[in-house]
A and B are shown apart, each in its own frame.
Chain A
Amino acid sequence: MLIWVCALHCEAKPVIDYYRLKKSHEERAFDLYRGDDMLCVVTGIGKLASAAACAWVAARCENEAALAWINLGVAGAAEHELGTLFVINKIVDADNGQSYYPAPAVATSLAASACLTLSLPSDEYRDDTLFDMEASGFVYSALRFSSAELTQSLKIVSDNRRQQTGKNRQRVSELVQAHIESIDRQAAGLLRLKQQVAALEVPADSWQQLLSLAHFSQTQRSRLRVLWRYLGNREFDSETLLRQLATQKTAGEIIAALEQISYQDSEGL
């Protein structure tokens, strides 16, 4: 699942439109938009709101094998031109000085920048960093549920020393919309990485079928999971394996049978 995290509707709108996400009417805490393998949450302004929304969404995705995150929004900058898109490689929380480093795992031609997250709006422009009000809360929370390679922040300059458009919602949507192709490429790269991680996990349905064959202790479950993950990733057909295992009477026999298959398979490297 790829989760977009935006503070404002006007930041989220180009993404919602581009991917044709549908609003979920069952949710109350935050506005949530759903699509295939994709969610977009509108968090409201501020790092606490962003952190709370990330945790809230993650709790709704607990059965997902892997989560990828993109925090998309506008930011202030001293000199950069309005509308410039940056991938953020360092996030600093201005209140406590804590730094976070989203890992640059997706090859990109986008310019990179640091981002300072403030608790209050500011027009004190700093030369060496963008600034916003959400990124540190976003990354703090998202990293509880994913790795730094699957947690990205994209910021578009809406204000600088010469011009301020951050409060003009229509203009903010236009700034995001202008980069939607680049944003989509970034998202596609992240989805590919997420897929690599998810593909290694044990599929929930076959795992449940396997567990139903016998009573497994916790230790046996751990061993079973290792074997099932291996064979699943070696493209053994789970249905065929489950049929073979149905003749085994105990958890120990099932594990021994899977071990034999694994040993044989692995001897060829």
Chain B
Amino acid sequence: MVSCVYIESAVRDHPRALQLLKRLRKLPLVEIDHYGEVFNPRAQNFRLQKQNPAVIIAHKNKGQVLAAPEGYGLGGEHNYYFSHMLNCLYDCRYCFLQGMYQSAHQVLFVNYEDFGEQIRQTATRHANKPVWFYSGYDCDSLANEPMTRFTEYFIPLVKSIDNAWMELRTKSTQVRSMLGLEPSNNIVTAFSFSDALSHARLEHGVPSIEKRVNAMSRLIGAGWPVGLRFDPVVYHRDYQSAFVDLLEQIFTRIDARKLHSVSLGSFRLTRDHFRSISRLYPEEPLFAQNMNLDNGIISYPLEREREMIDFCETQLMNHIPAQAYHPCEWHG
């Protein structure tokens, strides 16, 4: 439940801000100069805040489009990400966003046109080569769609740029707005899934697997390219049978030949993120498991990781064409 709304004075009259304020009109409104005043101070407890986060309506001044971290993406040469929001509606314990920012409040940027301009300029810099723009790095691309109306602006924008591709990464079922648009081969909606036990224990607030499979199916039916992301796969005693069940649940509804891409990776976090998150949630079994530090990344011991990835890959290949598969490589 959203607790209150902070708004930067400078965007008070921005049309998107006015739309948001209309939806949030029953909440206390606090005017601020810059979102960092509320979002960045150290004296905040992410865990408590996550129970009742606020919405911060703001303007993103610079760095609207950034180079994607190494290893992020689907193997393309030019990968960028952009974040129209900071933080996620959901509360997934394995997600690096839990340790990324001091605050759990959701920042919604309203100056889409500045993002759009940077996307255009970036695509122009790599003329005639495919450029990927990832939107689900600092947030879930679609979870807040009724508020942000993200697709209404960014899908037509990316469609209008010949060499631009965009991935929307989501755990939500908010596909209604996309179903009202003409599908485009350059826009891939990638749905993230974990097995049922991991979902129940670690993905707080995330819609059920069944509902998300249903949302995927509707998008495919409407002609949109869709991807699957099994990242992170989390270890637990029954992960093998749980993963088999998950694939069964997905592929009884989804025609694998119609998938744009499928990626797979085991649980991993940078050491700093792991430390921050495990301090926030010291009782969380995920962080008490046997882990190793490898090149600044905390992950399962290599032998366990290999066993997990080998098993899950083998199972996946029973369902999907090999060319759709993109393993998440991070060992360098």
Contact = CB atoms under 8 A, between A and B. Distances in A.
Interface stretch (B137-145, B232-240, B307-315): B232-240
B184 to A, nearest CB: 39
Given A104-B52, A143-B43, A269-B201, A112 B283 contact: no
A90 interface: yes
A101 interface: yes
Chain B interface size band reads 35 or more
A89 B30 contact: yes
Contacts of B43: 143-144, 146-148, 151
Contacts of A144: 43
Contact of B41 (A112, A148, A200, A268): A148
Given A148-B44, A263-B288, A269 B4 contact: no
Given A150-B45, A268-B237, A105 B51 contact: yes
B285 A265 contact: yes
A49 to B, nearest CB: 21
A114 B198 CA distance: 43
Contact of B286 (A104, A143, A263, A269): A269
A40 B88 CA distance: 38
A269 B49 contact: no
Contacts of A265: 285, 288
Contact of A193 (B31, B33, B48): B48
A267 B48 contact: no
B38 A268 contact: no
Contact of A99 (B28, B37, B51, B278): B37
Interface string B137-171: 00000000000000000000000000000000000
Given A89-B4, A146-B43, A267-B285, 7 more contacts: A101-B6, A112-B4, A112-B28, A114-B30, A147-B45, A197-B48, A233-B282
Interface of A: 89-90, 99, 101, 103-105, 107, 112, 114, 143-144, 146-151, 193, 196-197, 200, 226-227, 229-230, 233-234, 259, 262-263, 265-269
8 contacts: A101-B38, A103-B49, A105-B51, A150-B48, A229-B283, A262-B288, A267-B237, A269-B202
Interface of B: 1, 3-4, 6, 28, 30-33, 37-38, 41, 43-45, 47-49, 51-52, 54, 197-198, 201-202, 234-237, 278, 282-283, 285-290
